[in-house]
Structure 1
């Protein structure tokens, strides 16, 4: 607690320092900007939690404040740093971005340092709620399974083909930190991260995006590792190996956004493949439509997450003796507790742009899905049996940029 409080105090002091630099020196090479959000949410089921929300109103899950400093070192070299103060206990406050950019001309851009991992269409602005229609982007894609930052290098080449403006990005790097889900934090190592992103703007209205990412990963779930060692010691090596939390994952993504003055349509799809019980194969997508009654925007989103069945080793005999029966039950219980669950949702949202830099939002999301490592978490063992796999999440929020 003291460490987290100290971290937030440091961030606030840095905010004050950067703002004072901007006011006092007005350096033309330094550009200061920022954003924030104040979000309240309530889940109408007392048996489970979802993304930290329970049946008690809370402001702590998504409220944040951030400031970004861009300093132009030369005509072609700049440095960018983003500091973020978050109210969520599962997310650290501090430096979110810190990278060096080199842009030799209008067609090429190279970056090196700590950057946002470009998994999705809204990756770069995932914390900037003012930049999109939702309060919460569809959890089926914008999942805690994935890590938000990486340390490495990237290169972007921009080009035009007739009415199409496009870019291709290649990047590589690593990540060493924590992955958070179900209100727990797990040490995570990502190595040999490699990816490619293709973006295109067609005719000024249609945005297209596709990407491919691959990496080696190691996730430390201590309770699973301990149990796997017990199985290995008992001679059930195949069962122990099936509980591995390390290997390789591949991620495929595609999306499209069509925008007119008074309406917009969006679709995004992702497939995650690996050989672990945590996420053996996950396919997710959303479709969204919005209509503008200036300054009010109404949007409707359907999202879906589909998981594959976990292939169990099934080598532990049952009914031979009580000791083996306990191992058999414990193994299957571990599989159930660590597997991902299917999840469907329908979200109705309203946004009011009260000014050029302030927006107010309200939305309700109806979820249908089981208890899983990335979906609902039972608040007690008895609550798990009482949960009917349906819940509504109500949220209101204020978004601003400066």
Structure 2
């Protein structure tokens, strides 16, 4: 039985003109210095059941969840042959280039992976099966992953004061491709799922039905309005990334786009671009990141014949979701204290963008901490 672990101990702050920026899991709830928001510990166990089958379990305790241990991963891995393997259980859903290692801070040069892309979704893990293939050539390695899974948990944390809304993702079908050469890494993936957000739908029904009645809506018109604005629909997600590392330099870009089909808040797109330079034990990284929303116009959501007095309610519904976007420039420094420990610091400067009207407010922050593995 093999045991490995990782952790991050970090203090930091992120504020918008001296106030809480209200961005979930990003120093939310205070504009003061936080020692727990990004501090976490994890341990992973691997047990060989037979020559070709292993049991893998990973537990994680995060400061922003009061360090309550959670089972992050728990699966059986069956090595079918030299090229194919099958996993079954609780798995990482391939949403990013670094899905497998995003919480292992020591594995990258950022103080934190760019927040705009690596949003720390609750649906990063799901219960299901994954079929994986690895093709080796003399000049490159191609890894392909096909996964089917389900998720039950919390989404739309901004709309619920940080606590989230009960949600279900069914029949998550995900594909990921990773091509790795000596200096270049290309990665791409996509995901389709059926989203069940009836809890959010019911919130809007309860709060808006009296208003729609006052606006003269008939029962059938009101029912059609809520059917058109429902968040229970198909969901989609895709991403791609490129890393180029010639010598002491390292360049990286990654982009993603996702949303619920026909949802009033539209699609979300995010990207970052980074350049790093190593000087012996010191690595400096400068990156730009941003995330933006693309709300749909009322005419794209509501069916023909909808009473025109219903249209102004859509911006109010989007506003109630309390979604905020980011545009940041970040300078990060990493200093390798030991073969398994790195001291990291960063400074963030940019603005927080409000989805409803596109207005923005200046924001800044910093962090200082250590990442380690054992």
Q: 2:13 maps to what in 1?
A: 42
Which of 178, 181, 186 is 2:165 aligned to? Answer: 186
Q: Name the SS of the counterpart of 2:236 in structure 1.
A: strand
2:72 to 79, 96, 104: 96
Count of matched residue pairs = 353
Alignment partners' CA distance in 2, 1:276 and 1:259: 40
Distance of aligned partners of 1:317 and 1:201 in 2 relative to their CA distance in 1, 3 Å threshold: closer
Matched residues in 2 for 1:69 and 1:223: separation?
A: 41
Offset at residue 305 of structure 1 (A)? 1.9
Query: Any unmatched runs of 5+ in structure 2?
Result: none
358-367 or 143-152, which deviates more? 143-152
SS at structure 2 position matched to 1:58: coil
Does structure 2 conserve the Cα–Cα contact (< 8 Å) formed by 1:39 and 1:59? yes
**Are the counterparts in 1 of residues 13 and 27 from structure 2 also a CA contact under 8 Å?**
no
CA drift at 1:65: 1.1
Where does residue 123 of structure 1 map in the other structure?
99
Output the CA distance in 1 between the equivalents of 2:323 and 2:67: 21
Counterpart of 1:201? Answer: 180
Cα distance in 1 for partners of 2:319, 2:70 equals 35
3-state SS of 2:59 partner: strand
The match for 1:367 among 338, 350, 363 is 350
Partner of 1:310: 296
* Cα contact 2:156–2:165 (8 A) shared by 1: yes
What's 1:10 paired with?
A: none
Partner of 2:57: 81
Distance 2:86 2:138 in 1: 25
**Could you tell me how far 1:144 is from its partner in structure 2?**
4.5
SS across alignment from 1:335: helix
Per-residue deviation, 1:340? 4.4
5 Å-filtered alignment, 1:3-402, equals 30-44=1-15, 45-49=17-21, 50=23, 51-53=26-28, 54-89=30-65, 93-144=69-120, 147-179=123-155, 181-182=157-158, 183-202=162-181, 204-219=182-197, 220-221=199-200, 223-230=203-210, 234-235=217-218, 236-277=222-263, 279-312=265-298, 315=306, 331-338=314-321, 340-372=323-355, 389-402=361-374
8 Å CA contact retained: 2:111, 2:334: no
Contact 1:110–1:155 under 8 Å retained in 2: yes
Equivalent-residue separation in structure 1 for 2:117 and 2:265 (angstroms): 13
User: Offset of 1:281 from its aligned partner?
Assistant: 1.4
1 CA distance for matches of 2:315 and 2:163? Answer: 21
The root-mean-square deviation of aligned C-alpha atoms, in Å, is 2.6
Between the aligned partners of 1:149 and 1:193, the Cα distance in structure 2 is: 11
Give the TM-score, by structure 1 length.
0.80
- Give the conservation status (yes or no) of the 8 Å contact 2:94–2:175: no
Q: Are the equivalent residues in 2 in contact too, given 1:282–1:305 (CA < 8 A)? A: yes
Give TM-score scaled by structure 2 length: 0.86
Moved more, 339-348 or 357-366: 339-348
Structure 1: which 5+ residue stretches go unaligned?
1-29, 319-326, 374-383
Contact 2:334 2:345 in 1 (8 A): yes
